[in-house]
Amino acid sequence: MKVYLAGPITGLTYDDAQNWREEVKKALAPEINCYSPLRQKHYLRQEGVLDQSYSCHELSTDRGIMTRDHWDCKTCDLVFANLLGTTRVSIGTVMEFAWAFSYRKPLVVVMENTNNLHDHPMIREAIGYRTDSMARAIEIVRAVMLPS
């Protein structure tokens, strides 16, 4: 089983963008494979605050990011997104929501109930399950993905 871990990257450090993904991965059942858009991109840790793309590495070019993130959304079983505390709209995450909706992938989203920059009619309609609790979102993923 494959879960894609969507959420903001631009404007964050590598660790800030990756740490919550590692926590979700640890909290889910071992038979659920979590795919981060930052996997195999440890070289970004040295960049400080992350920009949108880096032409020095194939996985981090505009085309490289788009190709793998789209593939991950298309081939996953569920998309899990963390939008808690966002300070700017994450265009990449919004793209991933659209792919999830288009490919009929369940979308579990963690975001504040009010005042989140991503709170928009089209985003609300794409979301299958919404909560403001990371722990509750993990429970929802387990309920959707695992047998009784």
Residue 89 burial by Cβ neighbours in a 10 Å radius (0-12, 13-18, 19+): middle
Instruction: Indicate the pTM of the whole model.
Output: 0.95
Over residues 60-101, the pLDDT tens digits come to 999 999 999 999 999 999 999 999 999 999 999 999 999 999
Angular region, 31: left φ>0, alpha ψ -120 to 50, beta rest:
alpha
What is the SS3 string spanning 79-144?
EEEECCCCCCCCHHHHHHHHHHHHCCCCEEEECCCCCCCCCCHHHHHHCCEEECCHHHHHHHHHHH
pLDDT digits (tens, 9 = 90+) for 3-13: 999 999 999 99
Please, what's the largest Cα pairwise distance for the chain?
46
Structural domains in the chain, sorted by start? 2-145 (3.40.50.450)
